[in-house]
Structure 1
Amino acid sequence: MGPEATTASNLLELRGVNQSYGQSHTLWDIDLDVPEGQCTVVMGRNGVGKTTLMETIMGMRNLDSGSIQFAGEDISRKAIEYRAPAGIGLVPQGRQIFPLLSVEENLQIGLSARKDKARSIPSFIYELFPVLKEMLGRRGGDLSGGQQQQLAIGRALVIDPKLLILDEPTEGIQPNLVADIATIIRRLNQEFGLTVIIVEQKLPFARKVADRYVILDRGRKVSEGAMPELSDAIIQRYLTV
């Protein structure tokens, strides 16, 4: 299927996306299909444009050219404030929770972006992350790294997204909680039908959670396919340090 074709099952489609930062051309002619209800992992060595790609999808960086279609709508030129209410949730690299606000206050921040104007935090957040319910009154900055990551995911889920983007969700997380986060992502996919994009360096984690992979190298997409198709040769060429 050529890059001009569209598929009803894709929740997100990027076509010919170019992006520059100052004098630096960071993304080159990116085509990307994100199938609805699946988990797509974006991989590549450090500095190849993975986070830039996520920030471009979120409207944090402007396109030079190309288009972004989300849920059948062209959002290429929509302001960043439009993306969350449209149904895109972001768990940024480094989590970026508010350290002086309580867990509950951090979660409530997501409510303002909900289309239904709900006033209360959905109960399934506490079912997914029981530790957050136990620590509602505790300040975000007092949580462990793994607990902060759960809070960041919970805050993104509060907006009731159709698409959840997680940028390096296992970074700085102890191994037992990495397994928990993998389980939660699969549940969001399979039980809630949520579409997920993950930027991830850890190959075992990516294999555990993702249906599809996309690899970037120097701002270009160089390989993609179903996760079982990720060969040792591709790993050696684009992912090993």
Structure 2
Amino acid sequence: MLEIQSLNQFYGESHTLWDLDMTIPEGKCTVLMGRNGVGKTTLLQCIMGLVKVKSGDIKMGSQSLLKLDAEERPRQGIGYVPQGRQIFPMLTVQENLEVGLPIREKGDRKIPEFIFDLFPVLKEMLHRRGGDLSGGQQQQLAIGRALVVNPQLLILDEPTEGIQPNIVQEIGDIIRMLNEKMGLTVLLVEQKLPFARKVGDRFCILDRGRQVAEGEIDELNEQLIKEYLTV
């Protein structure tokens, strides 16, 4: 589904991602893990074209994403939920969801009804401003907005951050359903181990901009957790 090949990225003189190779297999939920500051969010921003890549490649199928502007990448079938949600606080829930409609086929530019089935609260608050929603509701809105583009790959950057526990559980259930029943490939950055184990099929661990471990989620053992994940 997604292939990252020999990827290097710099912030000024700081070398952030080092010759990174990673595969996100189709139909799986891959959890990207690592301590703060190891390059997880930077990698997602590279995939989405929000930061420049120094060298290497990122391929979605046979298409190199690096040849496309950031505005074109969702058209390749990628939905993105950034860290901190980044909804438009002054727009209504409906207007936030409609942001993704131009990505859809011309004859099908309406908000898919299944989004309201997943998140009934969004239908109830359709005409409320995004900034008036709770943190958990805003996260649901951010996920719904990403789903509007009809993605094949859904990328989420710490979707449980700052969210109340009952909504965390609901978001986990929805990610599993999207992956298992709707066939979406998922790439998820997550710090919470119980959540990662609940939703993930596979894990990849970054340390200082390099991939240091990967495997099935059941292979995420105490040695790896102690060496690369505990603070």
SS at match of 1:76: helix
Map of 2:166 onto structure 1: 176
Greater helix share, structure number: 2
Deviation at 1:112, TM superposition (A): 1.3
User: Post-superposition shift, 1:119?
Assistant: 2.3
Q: Secondary structure at the match of 2:100?
A: helix
Residue 28 of structure 1 is matched in structure 2 by: 18
Question: Quick one: which amino acid aligns to residue 58 of structure 1?
Answer: M
CA distance in 2, matches of 1:232, 1:51: 24
The equivalent residue for 2:118 is 128
2:73 pairs, out of 83, 95, 100, with 83
3-state SS of paired residue (1:152): helix
Shift of 1:77: 2.8
The alpha-carbon deviation at position 116 of structure 1 amounts to 4.3
Percent sequence identity is 64
Give the match for residue 221 of structure 2.
Answer: 231
- After the TM superposition, which residues 66-77 of structure 1 pair with which residues of structure 2 at under 5 Å, given as runs? 66-77=56-67
Does the Cα contact within 8 Å between 1:98 and 1:140 map onto a contact in 2? yes
Write the mapping of 1:181-196 to structure 2, written as runs, cut at 5 A: 181-196=171-186
Within-5 A mapping of 1:80-229 = 80-116=70-106, 118-229=108-219
Alpha-carbon distance between aligned partners in 1 of 2:94 and 2:134, rounded to the nearest angstrom:
16
Per-residue deviation, 1:113: 1.7
Confirm or deny: 8 A CA contact 1:104 1:136 kept in the other structure.
yes
Which residue does the alignment assign to 2:2?
12
CA distance in 2, matches of 1:239, 1:228: 16
- The answer to whether the 8 A contact 1:62-1:77 is kept is no
When residues 33 and 116 of structure 1 are mapped into structure 2, their CA distance, relative to the original with a 3 A threshold, is farther
Aligned AA (1:44): G
Q: Number of aligned pairs?
A: 231
In 2, distance between residues paired with 1:235 and 1:115?
Answer: 44
After the TM superposition, which residues 48-63 of structure 1 pair with which residues of structure 2 at under 5 Å, given as runs? 48-63=38-53
Q: Distance in 2 between matches of 1:168 and 1:116?
A: 32
Residue type of the alignment partner of 1:134? E
The DSSP-based 3-state class of the residue aligned with 1:238 is helix
3-state SS of the aligned residue for 2:213?
strand
Moved over 2 A (4+): 115-119
Residues 98 and 106, structure 1, Cα contact 8 Å, conserved in 2 = yes
TM, length-normalised to structure 1: 0.94
Question: Partners in 2 of 1:56 and 1:115 — Cα distance?
Answer: 26
Deviations 1:95-130 (A, max 9, x none): 000111110000000101224452210000001111
What is the SS of the residue equivalent to 1:161? coil
* Distance in 1 of aligned mates of 2:87 and 2:127: 15
- Give me the whole-angstrom Cα distance separating, in 2, the residues matched to 1:117 and 1:32: 36
SS at match of 1:126: helix
Q: Deviations over 1:170-226 (max 9, x none)?
A: 000001110000000000001110001000100000000000000001111111000
CA-to-aligned-CA distance 1:47-96 (integer Å, 9 cap, x gap) = 00000000001111121111111022122232111101111111000000
Alpha-carbon distance between aligned partners in 1 of 2:62 and 2:178, rounded to the nearest angstrom: 22
Q: CA RMSD in A?
A: 0.9
Q: Calculate the TM-score normalised by the size of structure 2.
A: 0.98
